[in-house]
Chains A and B, each alone.
Chain A
């Protein structure tokens, strides 16, 4: 077993501060999609590249998989600097995209051209899996065009400072805006694991970002222009601005969240069963810790909170490496990886603990990779109608102590409310006592709902023997919260064990948690409600992608490509 006291461990894994310390791993979706591409010999061909000299026009990339072709269509257009915005309410973008099932016919292209650049305001068909948009990085795009046009390579430090040429501001899938419902997608495509189609689209957008910039540079100066050298190119990711839209997903998809966490924990549990650590493998682990250390030294953020966090992680990592070096040099063989994880848990901050975990997982593809192929789950929630009210009380006491022990009479614990914005139908946070709209609150305050149910039933002993079916006939207002409690009774990672209505809630911790499973790196918070990250930074581009390098790009640093 990983821990001597599993129940305590389960709940501590799902607190906001811990969730906000997660890092990508072998199980992340960006990693598993590239692994699948290599394993199944997918090919990507740029079949259309009708861009003018300034880079405006249409490009299409076809992805051939063993049984199906998918096409990413890219629209690039001129927009004025003042129209370029990361805000989700923007209406114009430098580039827009759609991932389509099959090849794109002339008729499809007309339809897509009319709709995809409009994004949320356009309509899509069930033959489209993903839509997205990306803006040019004002800091980097022009600079790189200029360098390449003059026949010189940009400085990798400039690349590192930003991390991307294009930055997506939304990647939509799963039935939104008319796109294919996930129930169909997983049935008729290769994408039977969550967010795989989205990750494929983002990977190809990264290809397009480099094709686009090299194309513009060439037309600026055909005689002198050069292409990006691989060691610089590979350091580029695709940026992503992520706001609160991601946060409710964690509350609304608890079975899926449990599945993701459970697969990760299961990987560690299996690793911990291995007795006697191979010294060579342990040295490899130390190298991976060094790599993470270099990565953290290189990652730039202007956010004070994140800077301090990274700094304290660097201090802890240094100590962790020292501990490992001492172990490595001692004559006593290390008995299990559990010793290493346990030491990190007892001595270092959450970020360091997570880095230790993901770098250990990195060493065991035969354990991690099959589990990474099983990250999907039925999301159906159910009511166990024959359970009694008394057993619900027990469940609440066992699993929701954090909720029933919260003082909801204290305004600070009800300070925030989640709502859907009128402007863009996106989730937002409001302040209950300072802003309008609390009466239209989204049902995301699970702690408060459990607290209310518990206080309703605890003193009504005459109801304790009722079956849940009998109870809900009389009190249907508790259907949602009872269904949730019952469904998640065996999902130890399904519930976020913190009150997200509290004044001090750092919602970016929820974003980071989800983004880590996507495989995002280079966390750069811009407020307590949104941040920028990169996807696929350090990953090989398609023409270099092989079984030899598909797994080497976690915690990529500027010297990873020598």
Chain B
């Protein structure tokens, strides 16, 4: 079955709401999920896979430590903590040109990508590196809403479950030449044209969560609602 971006976003929004994400945090998470799905990066699948880990355990608070810009997510989803972290880095960029940070114990690093994409008009360059499930180091470079994805060279040292994030406001910031895949306005239009196709099993799982936010209509509402009364004129 295929769906529009709107439908994927809406069902993710409702599912997040049903799991206790507060207003605003639910919108951020839904955007991250739907954006990944739109770009064939399996947002719905990732979300469905980790539902049990954070169902009714929303925890978006970030505890500062003494390691500069680094944070330890303690295996809490980026869907919850990612937006705050990227906002924080963005605020630091007002006073410094480059931010380089390591996020530890990150179980779903790919969810940082939509956030970096969203901030890309405001930030000259950003980069994210993490290990994928095959233990290959993947790099994402984002500039002007264009994302280049590829295998990373060994210029950075990170461990499994760590993410390296670099944000720069320098126009001439050095970027590596990696590009196995590119996400651009054109590729996004192409994907919208072809609709989004999440796996049915994942979709159904999320749909059940979304349904928890619906309320049976009252008799009062039925009588006063559209078509109530002399509905057949």
B194: CB under 8 A from chain A?
yes
Q: Which of B46-54, B131-139, B149-157, B212-220 has 4 or more CB atoms under 8 Å from chain A?
A: B212-220
B181: CB under 8 A from chain A?
no
CB-CB under 8 A from B201, the residues of chain A are none
A476 with B227: CB separation less than 8 A: no
A52: CB under 8 A from chain B?
no
CB contact between A481 and one of B24, B91, B194 (< 8 Å): that residue:
B24
Given A385-B87, A428-B221, decide whether A420 and B213 contact each other with a Cβ distance below 8 A.
Answer: yes
B227 with A241: CB separation less than 8 A: yes
> Please, how many angstroms separate the alpha-carbon atoms of A469 and B64 in the complex?
12
Q: How far is the CB of B133 from chain A (nearest CB, A)?
A: 28
B-contacting residues, A484-530, CB 8 Å: 526-530
> Please, how many angstroms separate the alpha-carbon atoms of A430 and B25 in the complex?
25
CB contact between A85 and one of B6, B83, B221, B232 (< 8 Å): that residue:
B232
A476 with B226: CB separation less than 8 A: no
Size of the chain A interface, CB-CB below 8 angstroms:
75
A469 with B232: CB separation less than 8 A: no
B180: CB under 8 A from chain A?
no
A-contacting residues, B44-90, CB 8 Å: 60-62, 64, 80, 83-85, 87-88, 90
Closest B residue to A418 by CB, please name it. Answer: B215
Binary A-proximity of B217-231 (CB < 8 A = 1, otherwise 0):
110111111111111
A110: CB under 8 A from chain B?
no
Closest A residue to B188 by CB, please name it. Answer: A183
B3: CB under 8 A from chain A?
yes
Given A125-B195, A473-B61, A476-B25, decide whether A436 and B215 contact each other with a Cβ distance below 8 A.
Answer: yes
> Please, how many angstroms separate the alpha-carbon atoms of A429 and B88 in the complex?
38
A394: CB under 8 A from chain B?
no
CB-CB under 8 A from A482, the residues of chain B are 24
Interface size class of B (residues with CB under 8 A): 35 or more
CB-CB under 8 A from A179, the residues of chain B are 4
Given A420-B213, A467-B91, decide whether A473 and B64 contact each other with a Cβ distance below 8 A.
Answer: yes
A470 with B4: CB separation less than 8 A: no
CB-CB under 8 A from A174, the residues of chain B are 6
B27 with A469: CB separation less than 8 A: no
CB contact between A87 and one of B194, B214, B225 (< 8 Å): that residue:
B225
> Please, how many angstroms separate the alpha-carbon atoms of A552 and B226 in the complex?
31
> Please, how many angstroms separate the alpha-carbon atoms of A449 and B6 in the complex?
25
CB-CB under 8 A from B171, the residues of chain A are none
CB-CB under 8 A from A1, the residues of chain B are none
> Please, how many angstroms separate the alpha-carbon atoms of A385 and B228 in the complex?
47
A181 with B232: CB separation less than 8 A: no
Closest A residue to B24 by CB, please name it. Answer: A480
CB contact between B25 and one of A177, A449, A480 (< 8 Å): that residue:
A480
Q: How far is the CB of B215 from chain A (nearest CB, A)?
A: 3
CB-CB under 8 A from B189, the residues of chain A are 184, 187-188
B217 with A428: CB separation less than 8 A: yes
CB-CB under 8 A from B28, the residues of chain A are 479
> Please, how many angstroms separate the alpha-carbon atoms of A178 and B227 in the complex?
25
B4 with A87: CB separation less than 8 A: no
> Please, how many angstroms separate the alpha-carbon atoms of A357 and B226 in the complex?
30
CB-CB under 8 A from A421, the residues of chain B are 214-217, 221
Given A175-B7, A529-B225, decide whether A483 and B24 contact each other with a Cβ distance below 8 A.
Answer: yes
Given A125-B195, A184-B192, A473-B62, decide whether A87 and B215 contact each other with a Cβ distance below 8 A.
Answer: no
Top-10 shortest CB links A-B: A480-B24, A243-B226, A175-B6, A86-B227, A479-B24, A476-B60, A87-B227, A437-B215, A480-B23, A385-B91
Binding site for A on B (CB under 8 A): 1-7, 14, 22-28, 60-62, 64, 80, 83-85, 87-88, 90-92, 94, 188-189, 192-195, 211-218, 220-233
New contact pairs (19) apart from A126-B194, A431-B220, A477-B24, CB-CB < 8 Å: A85-B227, A88-B225, A126-B193, A178-B7, A183-B188, A183-B192, A188-B189, A241-B231, A245-B226, A385-B88, A385-B94, A420-B214, A421-B216, A423-B217, A473-B87, A474-B62, A476-B24, A476-B61, A479-B25
